[in-house]
Structure 1
Amino acid sequence: MDGTTKPTEGLGAMTDLALAQGTGPRAWPKPLRAAFDADMTERHFHDVQFFVAMGMVLAIVTLFVDAISMPDHIVEASLNRLIFVLPLQIAALAIPRRYPHLQKVLMGVSLIAFSMVLMRGAVWPEPPIDAFLMMGTVLMLGIVVPVLPLAPIEKAIFVVCYVIGTAAAMFAYDHRIAAEAPFVAIIVLTGVSAAVLGQRLWRLQIRNFLLALQASHQMADMETANARLAELSRRDPLTDLANRRHFEDVFASHFNARPAHGEARVAAMMLDLDHFKAFNDRWGHQTGDECLRAVADVMRNCADGHGGLAARFGGEEFVMLLRVDGETQALQIAEDLRTAIERIEMVHSNTDTSVTCTTSIGVAIHEDDEAPHLGRLLAEADMALYRAKNDGRNRTQMALPGAKMGKVAVGAAA
């Protein structure tokens, strides 16, 4: 796995491969490594702020220990913290987000300065309290290093600097324990152990990042799949038009409001392809499906052009919902639609014959001031469609004023 990964490969695939191979960031492709660096930079910025704030609290709290163990030197101990530690901590907190490395440097230097201040303070009390205070620097090293928001190489550099700084302070102040080999060995071993543990925690951070990224991509894929399934549940699989259920939902959410004065009226158009059973018997179902898809494309373009919705109700029956200014506009749209369908030409694959189809259309408009009712509109449009078929097919008919529902069964003859 290297930086030559094709850009078409997504982070999800890169993440899966990195988890499977157990590789580190250096072996990852650039996009995955960039995502990791960005995530770690953000995390480390907040973690450094937390550790520095905790260091400030610790610097203040340990003054109470100094007050108990060396009351005669509490002023000097306080000044050492105020001069050498707190300014570094305040500066680290004030560093802007765009300078993460400088923030880490100031955090590390403040911890080393705090250790040296503790070493200085360990000179004043009598044994064995002085030894206890010096061991505090070792304890701080062992606790802090594994959890510091630093990369492994940064932790190694910090441990080396911490040990050198602490040892320098110990010898500079000529403390009696400075010559004791066990203490030097303890602080070195503690630093090495802490660095090794920090390396282990760093690997866990890397794995947790990969697992979190993998989970987020799996969740995104699942949401995409669910959205696709939801979309498929609203679509007719052959024509990709809305199905009846989605058609009814759209009517309920966008077309069933009571019309305001002067507002466009809701119109429904029922379409049925003429003699479609005979068309299928003559040209075959494959050509029949092609015809249905071609008619659906014409209807979709018409509906989109007038802010409406086209749907397939089943078989060769289609319906369209839109708003019109009146009967004249509705009939014109229906007639344009009928003409466009009549002009569809398909080539029969076996005979190279040009194949056409026609349709009959029934139109109904919601006229009164009450909220439109879908069932009534469709029934009236269906009655008009029945009349269009009885009058010779391949024509458009408007629902008659005051037409009563129930005289004609829904679904005209093919």
Structure 2
Amino acid sequence: MTQMKILLVDDTKTILMQLTIWLEALGHEVTSTQDPCQALPLYQQQQPNLVILDVMMENKSGYDCARELREADSGEHWVPIIFLSSAEKDENVQAGIDAGGDDYLIKPVSEVTLTAKIKAMQRIAEMQEQLAHANAQLQALSNTDELTQIPNRRSFNDRYQSEWNRVLRLPENIRRIAIIMFDIDHFKEYNDYYGHPEGDKCLQQVAQAIDQSLTRASDYVARYGGEEFIALVVNEDKEHLKQLAEKIQRNIAKLGIEHSKSTVASTVTLSIGIAVEVPQRGYNKDKLIERADEALYQAKQNGRNRFVILG
């Protein structure tokens, strides 16, 4: 089973030592303290999978510790809390559950009982981990274009919103955002002549070539729909954007994808539209995409296989 990180809080040194020995013998990583006031800092620092709290402590009760931990919890992952106490009345158990506890063991706790409880918590922790992994995979799938394996339009919209908000907080002299739109020239003719399987392969190759051309961590490329792609580039001036567009066109040319039905070249080419803006509060960010689309239209009208930048 998965090794657990356990936070152990008990102001009785002998009990603390005995529990630590048992838990470490089971293969777990234990952080312990006799001071209940250290429970919250240690919880935030160590991010344990399980917390074991004594109830009756001098400086602060285990119930109060549990409430603090629950209030500080982000809610992303459930961390079980087990109380240890010699108080065995029903109202004591109820108080522990009301404080945020998940189990309540009566002292003295036997090694067998504690081991059984820990194993039960392990199983729950493993199921949580598997669920989190599955959710992460589903999230990735929902944000990825199935054919090209780059982000999809939905993912781009989310990233664009977050980057726009981030850039708004930057000094104005480095507050530039550029939207780049790409369209494969005469792709319909390509698809009709070579067939949809070859068309899909073409889209995959072009997507990867664009994606690999934008190398900064903040650069973001997505499939926008059909044969159109879109990119988000932050804090680049027009000269660098011009160089980037030329680089992308060179990389597309290197693919050497035959396109006998194109009127502009014997291989697949791109038309590129670029729009640059210094974000201001109150400005509609969608207008920047519209301007990039306008630049793309101009590139097509001017003969395709070229780029137009609108500042």
Please classify the TM superposition score into its range, dividing by the shorter chain length: 0.5 to 0.7
Distance change (3 Å), C-alpha of 1:35 and 1:329: same
Deviations 1:264-290 (A, max 9, x none): 521111101111122122222222222
Deviations 1:383-411 (A, max 9, x none): 11111112221111123x6xxxxxxxxxx
Report SS of the residue matched to 1:262: helix
Report SS of the residue matched to 1:360: strand
Letter in 2 for 1:37: L
User: 1:37: which partner in 2?
Assistant: 26
d(CA) in 2 for partners of 1:397, 1:307: 22
Distance change (3 Å), C-alpha of 1:208 and 1:260: closer
d(CA) in 1 for partners of 2:235, 2:228: 22
d(CA) in 2 for partners of 1:260, 1:371: 17
Instruction: State whether structure 2 residue 144 is matched by structure 1 residue 235.
Output: yes
d(CA) in 2 for partners of 1:344, 1:41: 55
Instruction: State whether structure 2 residue 297 is matched by structure 1 residue 386.
Output: yes
1:267-278 to 2 correspondences below 5 Å: 267-278=178-189
Report SS of the residue matched to 1:38: coil
Residue from 204, 210, 225 that aligns with 2:119: 210
User: 1:375: which partner in 2?
Assistant: 286
Structure 2's unaligned 5+ residue stretches are 3-21, 35-53, 58-105, 260-265
8 A Cα contact 1:273 1:316, kept in partner: yes
Task: Calculate the TM-score normalised by the size of structure 1.
Answer: 0.45
8 A Cα contact 2:172 2:278, kept in partner: no
CA shift for structure 1 position 302: 2.7
CA shift for structure 1 position 340: 1.1
CA shift for structure 1 position 34: 9.3
Deviations 1:76-109 (A, max 9, x none): xxxxxxxxxxxxxxxxxxxxxxxxxxxxxxxxxx
8 A Cα contact 2:176 2:234, kept in partner: yes
Moved more, 239-248 or 310-319: 239-248
1:226-305 to 2 correspondences below 5 Å: 226-256=135-165, 257-258=167-168, 260-305=171-216
d(CA) in 2 for partners of 1:39, 1:379: 56
8 A Cα contact 2:175 2:278, kept in partner: no
Letter in 1 for 2:237: G
Distance change (3 Å), C-alpha of 1:209 and 1:34: closer
d(CA) in 1 for partners of 2:217, 2:30: 52
Task: Calculate the TM-score normalised by the size of structure 2.
Answer: 0.59
User: 1:26: which partner in 2?
Assistant: none
d(CA) in 2 for partners of 1:39, 1:242: 39
Identity %: 30
d(CA) in 1 for partners of 2:227, 2:276: 22
d(CA) in 2 for partners of 1:206, 1:320: 54
Structure 1's unaligned 5+ residue stretches are 1-10, 13-32, 54-145, 152-201, 349-354, 402-414
User: 1:333: which partner in 2?
Assistant: 244
1:344-383 to 2 correspondences below 5 Å: 344-345=255-256, 356-366=267-277, 373-383=284-294
Deviations 1:233-283 (A, max 9, x none): 222222222222221222221224446342252111110111112212222
Distance change (3 Å), C-alpha of 1:206 and 1:375: same
Distance change (3 Å), C-alpha of 1:347 and 1:213: farther
Larger radius of gyration: 1
Distance change (3 Å), C-alpha of 1:263 and 1:282: same
CA shift for structure 1 position 291: 1.8
Report SS of the residue matched to 1:343: helix
Distance change (3 Å), C-alpha of 1:371 and 1:240: farther
d(CA) in 2 for partners of 1:36, 1:287: 60
Distance change (3 Å), C-alpha of 1:253 and 1:321: same
d(CA) in 1 for partners of 2:30, 2:270: 65
Distance change (3 Å), C-alpha of 1:239 and 1:221: same
How many pairs does the alignment contain?
214
What RMSD over aligned residues (CA atoms) do the two structures have, in Å? 3.5
CA shift for structure 1 position 382: 0.8
Q: Which has the higher helix share?
A: 1
CA shift for structure 1 position 335: 1.8
Instruction: State whether structure 2 residue 133 is matched by structure 1 residue 224.
Output: yes
User: 2:88: which partner in 1?
Assistant: none
